[in-house]
Amino acid sequence: MVRRSVLFSPGDKPDLMRKAAMGNADVVVFDLEDAVAPADKRNAREAVREVLDEIDPDCEVAVRVNPIGLGAMTDLEAILEGSRPDSIMVPKTEDATDIQRVQARLEEAGGSCPVLALIESAAGVLRADEIAAVDATDALLFGAEDLAADIGATRTSEGIEVLYARERTVIAASAAGIDAIDIVYTDYGDTDGLREETAFARQLGYDGKMAIHPDQVPVINDAFTPSDDDIEWAERVLAARDRAETGVFEVDGEMIDAPLIAQAERILERADETDN
């Protein structure tokens, strides 16, 4: 399962949810948290359940519930009455017990599904490795805006104030062998800025990026899809590896060793995932 683009759609807007699910995002998130006003939560739960019952999309469909202790269990109770989403997203995850509580509720309802944990507080960042290690956790997502508010940082375009947390999140995900999904780029009209920030997320090791507008999806998908040049390089490296008599060999004037072989394998694996 590839998760290059993770697109949010308001849970109280059925037409937008249907449209998002038929688009090009790898993951569509029906959002019951930030996108829905407190007075509209009940109607949003009903709308999400109805849309889940009627759609048959090719993408992964997740539901973002409200935080643990602030409506998550009520959201799950409503959602689980109908067709299940492919995954559940838990915002403001602060420790492993948050995921375990969701996992237990899903099992009580007759099954389980992957849980996507949003890391967006100081406590969540410091416990990211514990959160990632829970069996149900299938991805860590980093939320910079809420983290900045939590620690009293001022958000800047450079993002230096959240860089440590951004790196810690991707490292925790990698150590657990799960996906790492990067921050939202809030200026959805700035395509060049999105492309630059997404390229940086790839350099950090992220597998995908969250989106708040459908126009962001093609840029994100392209950035996390290996280019033809990358694929050709990876194929040459692995072909040379199969011919080599030593652990270190040369390809195109470059000395290749184990880390570059692993990089080539990841490129071809990702290329295969994005083709399917």
Q: Within 13 Å of residue 205, how many CA atoms lie on the same side as its CB?
A: 17
Q: What is the pLDDT of residue 9?
A: 96
pLDDT reading at 276 higher than 70: no
pLDDT reading at 77 higher than 80: yes
Report the predicted TM-score, pTM, of the whole model to 2 decimal places. 0.89
pLDDT reading at 265 higher than 80: yes
Q: What is the pLDDT of residue 11?
A: 95
As a whole number, mean pLDDT of residues 169-179 equals: 97
Residues of the chain with CATH 3.20.20.60: 5-224
Q: What is the pLDDT of residue 213?
A: 95
Percent of the chain scoring above 90 in pLDDT = 75
Q: Which tokens hold the place of 207?
A: 């597998």
Computed over every residue of the chain, the mean pLDDT equals 93
125 close to 147: Cβ distance less than 8 angstroms:
yes
10 — phi, psi (to 5°)? -60, 135
Q: What gap in Å lies between CA 186 and CA 164, rounded to an integer?
A: 20
Amino acid of residue 246: T
Q: pLDDT tens digit string along 88-143? A: 999 999 999 999 999 999 998 887 899 999 999 999 999 999 999 999 999 999 99
CATH number of 5-224: 3.20.20.60
Q: pLDDT tens digit string along 209-221? A: 999 999 999 999 9
Q: What gap in Å lies between CA 36 and CA 257, rounded to an integer?
A: 51
105 close to 99: Cβ distance less than 8 angstroms:
no
Matching residue, tokens 């630059």: 196
Q: pLDDT tens digit string along 48-73? A: 999 999 998 989 999 999 999 999 99
Percent of the chain scoring above 70 in pLDDT = 100
As a whole number, mean pLDDT of residues 148-163 equals: 94
